[in-house]
Amino acid sequence: MAIGYPNGKKGKVQTKDPVPVKNKMTNYGKRGMSLEEDLNETNAFYLAHERAVIHKKPTPVQIVRVDYPKRSNATIKEAYFKQPSTTDYNGVYRGKYLDFEAKETKNKTSFPLSNFHPHQMEHMKQILKQDGFAFVITSFSSLGVVYLTRFDRFLPFWERMESGGRKSVTLEELQAHSKQIPYGLNPRLDYLSIIDTFF
C-alpha cells in the first residue's frame, strides 16, 4: 500500500512490527568512576578554583628490577613497598591542615573495618593532637552514597573492634555520626561544603 508523504515521495507501510524500544533511564554520571577518581577530580577542581590545595599521597615504593628493552619502553619487573602508607589525602583548606582516608565497599548494610589499618588510625590520632582536621570518607558503591565522618567520631568504632566488638560499622551508625556528601558535576564530591559546617 502506497502512502503519500509531505515531500511528495511515495513510501510503503512496514509489514513487520517494529522492535519495541525499552524506556529505560540511564545514569551516565557515575559510570566507571571509583571513589578515588571522584576525589581526584574534585581535588583538581578545588585547586583550579583556588579553594584548597589537597593531593593524593603517593605510596612509597622501592624499585628493585627494571626491564629496558628500549629506553621508551621501560617496565618495572620487581618493586616493594618501602613502608606502610599513612592516609590517602592531605592538604590545606582555609588555613587548616586536612588529612583523610577514603575507602569504598560494595556492602549495602555495613562498612568492614578491615579496610583500615592500625597505622592509619595512629596517624590520624596524631593529626588530631596537632589540631589538624582528620576524617574518613566512606562510599557504599552499591547504594551510590558517600559519607564524611570526623575522625573523632569514627575512632570509637575502631576501638570497639579492638576490644573484641563488632568488626564493621553499620550503615545506620554511619548515618547517625556522619554527613552525606552529595554527588554533583563540579565539583564531583563537594566534601569541603561538609567541612565548612564543622569550622
What residues are designated binding site for Mg(2+)?
A: 86, 88, 101, 120
Of 40, 158, 45, residue with least CA distance to 102: 40
| Binding site members | 86, 88, 101, 120
Please give the torsion angle defined by the CA atoms of residues 6, 10, 12 and 18, in that order, rounded to the nearest 10 degrees: -40
What string of DSSP letters covers the chain?
-EEE-TTS-EEE--SSPPPPPP------SSTT--HHHHHHHHHHHHHHTTS-EEEEPPPPEEEEEEE-SSGGG-EEEEEEESS----SEEEEETTEEEEEEEEEES-SSEEEGGGS-HHHHHHHHHHHHTT-EEEEEEEETTTTEEEEEEHHHHHHHHHHHHTT--SEEEHHHHHHH-EEPPB-SSSSB-HHHHHTTT-
Find the helix packing angle between 118-129 and 151-162, rounded to 10°: 140
